[in-house]
Structures are given as structure tokens and as C-alpha cells.
Structure 1
Amino acid sequence: MSSDIGTGDPSVSATEDGSERAPNTLFNALIGAAVAVVLGFVPFSPLLGGGVAGYLEGGDTRSGARIGAVSGVLAAIPFTLLAGVALALFVIVPEGGAVGLLVGVVAVVLVITFYSVALSTLGGVLGAYIEREV
């Protein structure tokens, strides 16, 4: 059982023995990223992963957005690798040759990263809000 300490910081709480503890942000972000990747076949899975991370992190919506964004960046890594494997299986060299291929790869990486980070950030805000209100 934990309760908020009178410091006004909702991210720090007291344990049963009275010691302070802060949430493990990186671990919560990794859990959220894992949820997003495992549920990758579900549309908008980064939203769910960010929601889980935000719920676990708790605090206000600002900390939820932060943890959601970190979760999104971590989830973008395997999403990008999977897209790279898919692109390698269906290599179509554009008219521009290697430069066109490089531009295409950079565009795919940016789209995947934006998709993952934006949805995870929104999910983190919603997860923190749900944790605080419920």
C-alpha cells in the first residue's frame, strides 16, 4: 500500500515502511513498448502501449505524456526493423537509384517513428488520467 507524500509531487510515494520511492520510468516505458510491439497486429497498438506505460507511471498528464513518448521511441525501434525486413523482401529500387532508395528508407523511418511516438504520447496521457481518476 502506498500513499502520496506531502511534497506535492505525485510521482514520489511512500511505501509501507515510510521510505520514498519513485516510479521506475524506464521499466514502465519498456513494458509499454513491449505491449505495443506484441499487439502490433492491432491497429493503433502504440496507443495501447502508451496507455499501459502512462497507467503504470501514474502522476499527472504531463508525466503520462513523457512516459508515453519514451515508450513510443522504444517501440519504434522494432517496428522500424520489421519494416526494414519487409522492405528487404520486396526490394524495388526507385528511379533515383541508391539516393532514391535512401530517401525512401528515411521517409519510412520518419513515418513509423512519428506514428509510434504520437500515438504512444496520447496513450500515456490517457493512461495517467485513468490511473489518477479511477
Structure 2
Amino acid sequence: MVPDDTPSTDDTPSDDGIASVDAPATDTSEPASNDFLAPGDDAPAELVDVLVYGLVGGIAGSVLSFVPFATVLGGAVAGYLCGGRPADALKTGTVAGVVMTLPFAAVVAFLLFFLGIAGAPAEFGIVALLVVGLAATYTLGSGIVGGYLGHYLRGRL
């Protein structure tokens, strides 16, 4: 005898001795989204939000500059506050990274100006510009990474 593979709708045991249970009905009227994000978090952020929260994250990263990986923390603050989509978090982290780079670049430019007046060799200026470029790349990159991590944490916390 071939077992019957058709699903039964009652809770009576079938021929093989296992009771069948109806599966709960699922509502498919809403689009699927991440259960961890608040309603509206998957909507794109406005440009004003990206700039404001990027500025806040950049200031937070600059204030916390004595803490290791403060640039990541500043980007994370910006990405967490902004919400929106992951691309918005990357933009906000970029703004935070630029804001965190500005004080460093201003101090180095100020020092190079006074060293130039004092008669420092040109090679020193070239090396200093290389150092500023590497530091700006590190700060900007870690701000972007922090923005993404902040967005991820917003979805989990």
C-alpha cells in the first residue's frame, strides 16, 4: 500500500501514527523588513539629517580623541543617530570623518606655517603633507566604518 502524501486538516493520527497539525496562517500584506529596525528606519534619510548627525558624530569623535579608535566611535555615533539605510550611514560616517579631520589638518597647517617662517627645509613640508594625507585617510576611513557599525548597532539594540 502506498502512503497518502496529501496533507490532512484534522488532528487525527494518520496511517503512520503521526498527528498532523495545521500551520499557522502568516500575514503577507506588509513587505518583509528587518525585525530589529524601528518602523521607518528603512526609509532613506534626508540630506539635512546626514549632515547634522555627521557633524554631531564628528564633534563626538573629536572630543573623544584621547580614547583609542575615537574616529570609529564618532562615526558610530553618527550612523546610530541617523538611521535610514546603510548607504545613509556610510554618508553620515563620511561627514563625521571629514569633521574629525579638520582640527588635525588645521593644527598641522598652523605648525607648517610657522616652521616655514623659521626656515625649515622643503623636504620637511613634503613629509608633513604625506603624514597629513595618511592621517586624513585613516580618519575618514574609520569614520565610514564607524558609520556602518553604528547603523548595524541601531538595528540590533
* Bin for the TM-score computed over the shorter chain: 0.7 to 0.9
Aligned length: 117
Which structure has the highest helix share of the two?
1
- For residues 102 and 44 of structure 1, the distance between their equivalents in structure 2, rounded to whole angstroms, comes to 27
- For residues 32 and 52 of structure 1, the distance between their equivalents in structure 2, rounded to whole angstroms, comes to 5
Q: Superposed, which structure 2 residues align to 1:19-98 within 5 Å?
A: 24-84=49-109, 93=120, 97-98=121-122
The percent identity for this pair of structures is 32
1:130 Cα offset (Å): 1.0
Answering whether residue 102 of structure 2 is matched by residue 102 of structure 1, we say no
Per-residue deviation, residues 46-97 of structure 1 (Å, max 9, x unmatched): 10000000001112322211210111011101022234556768x894xxx2
Higher relative contact order at CA 8 Å, sep ≥6: structure 1 or structure 2?
1
What is the aligned-residue RMSD (CA, Å)?
Answer: 2.6
- For residues 108 and 62 of structure 2, the distance between their equivalents in structure 1, rounded to whole angstroms, comes to 13
Unaligned runs of 5+ in 1: 13-20
Which structure has the highest strand share of the two?
1
1:111 Cα offset (Å): 1.5
After TM superposition, which residue ranges in structure 1, 4 or more long, deviate above 6 angstroms? none
Unaligned runs of 5+ in 2: 1-37
Larger radius of gyration: 2
- For residues 84 and 44 of structure 1, the distance between their equivalents in structure 2, rounded to whole angstroms, comes to 23
Are the counterparts in 2 of residues 65 and 122 from structure 1 also a CA contact under 8 Å? yes
1:39 Cα offset (Å): 0.6
